[in-house]
């Protein structure tokens, strides 16, 4: 119990103090007109109040991510609390802040364009492919589940439910951002928050005790904490999917000072939601062994349903159904919207099409494979999403680090978490069954070597920058 409340307090303190430090390092200027005004088209670029942007960002990046991921991460025990707190404050929120603010500073540019500016065109080309594949997979994965539940609860068939969901996707993607997303998402974001708060309060009045911190690995299958926990709990700590969503809200911001509330604030809120569900998972079923048995019965959806109904009664059942159906769908539609914005940015360099025609064609081009993947057994593909997601996050952190380095700012706030996440993804791909499936010690060795190679690259960039800076200073003196 003490650990849980302490973790919540640290998240609040992280927002109050560290977010302001990050903002000072970035250096905001409210006198600079934002893309919402300079590129206003009342479609993607339209000014909206910061509180609405915050709730939209929260729903864009959250959905079921901080619920399902936190429940699976709870299998490791209270050590999951540490990763949620540290990851959210020093990695995830920094990642989200820079992905949103760099988009803002570059006229609403999408994530791959920002990467290309600071890490080069080769990385940019790779990220175009990786990020688009990630978002199509996310749209497919977060559609099949709700469609199956709708088919179970209503007379509709699975395919009919799937087509209805994709019909909504097309509507939300093709309409101006303030028509559907701007009006409905703040309400749904509030429901997500209410659900987490209600579960947290109910936990306090049960006879079950939220476990306190222990550094022991309590996973029933004895899976290693490093690097699996950092991939299992992504939403709620750090997730690369977020940097593909941040430009959507960046295009609606009225001024730069809203960035801390929107991007950093939404990530901290998501961390709190993950903290609640991790605590519920490891508490409600009397430990990680009981949680493992519950997951075996019906996966995270079953766990959410059991916790919600048992703690909140009829209200809990309604919230669980709303959560399991609506929240994934809202993740899927913004995944398609952001991928549409990315692909449109690419096509605009090669084709000169009318705006609405281009938007429609690009949307259909992306929706088709997502719809197809939602109808097949794509489990073997979905297994790669976790690693791909964290690769995208790592690249975004290195992009932020290079931006700060070139601007002669305190790059450590981005380069340290970037190096940490490099270690995570380099080790994970060699150890995980969807990767090379090597033994743990071998994977650690290879992952460490690759991480040091990445560190060597960044040190060379720092050295190169210092030499350029020194040469410019000498020229000025001469």
Quote the pLDDT of residue 466.
Answer: 87
Whether the link from the prior residue into 314 is cis, omega within 30° of 0, is no
Cβ atoms of residues 162 and 148 within 8 Å: no
Q: CA Rg, the chain, in Å?
A: 22
- Predicted confidence band of residue 377 (pLDDT cuts 50, 70, 90): low
Quote the pLDDT of residue 473.
Answer: 63
Residue 170 confidence (pLDDT) above 60: yes
Quote the pLDDT of residue 382.
Answer: 64
- Predicted confidence band of residue 314 (pLDDT cuts 50, 70, 90): confident
- Predicted confidence band of residue 475 (pLDDT cuts 50, 70, 90): low
Residues of 410-422 as b/e, b for ≥16 C-beta within 10 angstroms? ebebbbebbbbbb
Quick one: the chain helix, strand, coil %, rounded to 5? Answer: 80, 0, 20
Q: Which residue has the higher pLDDT, 35 or 171?
A: 35
Q: How far apart are CA 167 and CA 220, in angstroms?
A: 42
| Each residue's pLDDT tens digit, 401-417 | 999 999 999 999 999 99
Residue 454 confidence (pLDDT) above 70: yes
| Each residue's pLDDT tens digit, 217-231 | 999 999 999 999 999
Residues 6 or more apart whose Cβ sits within 8 Å of residue 352: none
Cβ atoms of residues 76 and 219 within 8 Å: yes
Residue 176 confidence (pLDDT) above 70: yes
Q: What is the mean pLDDT of residues 75-87?
A: 96
- Predicted confidence band of residue 147 (pLDDT cuts 50, 70, 90): confident
| Each residue's pLDDT tens digit, 230-288 | 999 998 999 999 999 999 999 999 999 999 999 999 999 999 999 999 999 999 999 99
DSSP codes of every residue in 81-122: HHHHHHIIIIIIHHHHHHHHHHHHHTTT--HHHHHHHHH-HH
Q: Could you give the C-alpha distances from 288 to 71, 207, 213, in angstroms and in order?
A: 10, 17, 14
Q: Could you give the C-alpha distances from 330 to 45, 159, 192, 390, 455, in angstroms and in order?
A: 20, 19, 12, 21, 37
Quote the pLDDT of residue 350.
Answer: 64
- Predicted confidence band of residue 300 (pLDDT cuts 50, 70, 90): confident
- CATH no. for 2-384: 1.20.1740.10
- Predicted confidence band of residue 477 (pLDDT cuts 50, 70, 90): low
Backbone angles phi, psi at 210, to 5 degrees: -65, 125
Quote the pLDDT of residue 318.
Answer: 80
Cβ atoms of residues 216 and 344 within 8 Å: no
What is residue 21's three-state secondary structure?
helix
Quote the pLDDT of residue 146.
Answer: 82
Residue 383 confidence (pLDDT) above 80: no
Residues of 100-138 as b/e, b for ≥16 C-beta within 10 angstroms? bbbbbbeebbbbbbbbbbbbeeebbeebbebbbbbbbbb
Q: Could you give the C-alpha distances from 23 to 29, 258, 261, in angstroms and in order?
A: 11, 10, 10
Share of the chain above pLDDT 70, in %: 95
Quote the pLDDT of residue 352.
Answer: 62
Q: Which residue has the higher pLDDT, 195 or 259?
A: 259
Share of the chain above pLDDT 90, in %: 55
Q: Measured in whole angstroms, how far is the alpha carbon of residue 284 from the centre of its chain?
A: 26
Quote the pLDDT of residue 38.
Answer: 96
Residue 454 burial by Cβ neighbours in a 10 Å radius (0-12, 13-18, 19+): middle
Quote the pLDDT of residue 308.
Answer: 87
CA contacts within 13 A on the Cβ side of 285: 27
List strand residue ranges (DSSP E) for 224-382, in order: none
What is residue 368's three-state secondary structure?
helix
Average pLDDT of the chain, as a whole number: 89
- End-to-end C-alpha distance for the chain, whole angstroms: 65
Quote the pLDDT of residue 417.
Answer: 98
Instruction: State the residue for tokens 């959806």.
Output: 301
Quote the pLDDT of residue 106.
Answer: 96
Cβ atoms of residues 389 and 234 within 8 Å: yes
Quote the pLDDT of residue 336.
Answer: 86
């Amino acid at each position: 119990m003490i650990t849980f409340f302490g973790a919540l307090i640290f998240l609040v303190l992280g927002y109050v103090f560290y977010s302001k430090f990050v903002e000072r390092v970035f250096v905001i200027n409210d006198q600079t007109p934002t893309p919402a005004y300079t590129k206003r088209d009342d479609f993607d670029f339209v000014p909206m109040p910061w509180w609405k942007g915050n709730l939209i960002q929260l729903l864009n990046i959250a959905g079921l991510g901080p619920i399902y991921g936190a429940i699976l991460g709870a299998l490791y025990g209270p050590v999951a609390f540490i990763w949620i707190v540290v990851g959210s404050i020093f990695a995830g929120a920094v990642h989200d802040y820079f992905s949103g603010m760099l988009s803002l500073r570059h006229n609403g540019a999408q994530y791959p364009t920002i990467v290309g500016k600071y890490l080069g065109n080769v990385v940019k080309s790779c990220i175009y492919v990786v990020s688009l594949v990630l978002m199509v997979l996310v749209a497919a994965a977060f559609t099949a589940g709700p469609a199956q539940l709708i088919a179970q609860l209503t007379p509709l068939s699975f395919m009919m439910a799937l087509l209805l969901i994709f019909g909504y996707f097309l509507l939300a993607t093709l309409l101006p951002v303030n028509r559907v997303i701007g009006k409905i998402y703040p309400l749904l974001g509030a429901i997500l928050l209410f659900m987490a708060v209600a579960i947290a309060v109910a936990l306090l009045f049960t006879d079950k005790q939220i476990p306190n911190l222990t550094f022991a690995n309590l996973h029933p299958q004895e899976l290693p904490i490093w690097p699996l926990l950092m991939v299992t709990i992504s939403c709620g700590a750090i997730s690369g999917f977020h940097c593909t969503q941040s430009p959507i809200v960046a295009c609606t911001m009225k001024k730069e000072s809203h960035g801390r509330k929107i991007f950093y604030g939404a990530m901290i809120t998501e961390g709190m939601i993950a903290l609640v569900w991790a605590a519920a998972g490891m508490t409600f079923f009397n430990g990680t062994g009981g949680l493992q048995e519950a997951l075996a019965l019906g996966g995270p959806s079953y766990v959410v349903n059991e916790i919600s109904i048992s703690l909140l009664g009829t209200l809990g059942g309604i919230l669980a159904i709303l959560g399991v159906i609506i929240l994934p769908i809202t993740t899927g539609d913004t995944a398609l919207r952001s991928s549409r914005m990315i692909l449109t940015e690419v096509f605009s360099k090669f084709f000169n099409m009318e705006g609405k025609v281009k938007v429609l064609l690009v949307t259909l081009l992306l929706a088709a494979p997502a719809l197809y993947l939602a109808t097949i057994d794509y489990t073997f593909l979905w297994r790669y999403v976790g690693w791909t997601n964290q690769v995208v996050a790592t690249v975004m952190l290195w992009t932020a680090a290079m931006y700060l380095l070139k601007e002669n700012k305190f790059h450590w706030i981005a380069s340290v978490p970037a190096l940490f996440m490099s270690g995570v993804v380099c080790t994970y791909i060699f150890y995980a069954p969807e990767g090379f499936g090597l033994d743990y010690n071998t994977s650690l060795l290879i992952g460490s070597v690759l991480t040091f190679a990445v560190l060597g690259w960044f040190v060379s960039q720092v050295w190169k920058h210092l030499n350029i800076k020194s040469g410019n200073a000498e020229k000025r003196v001469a």
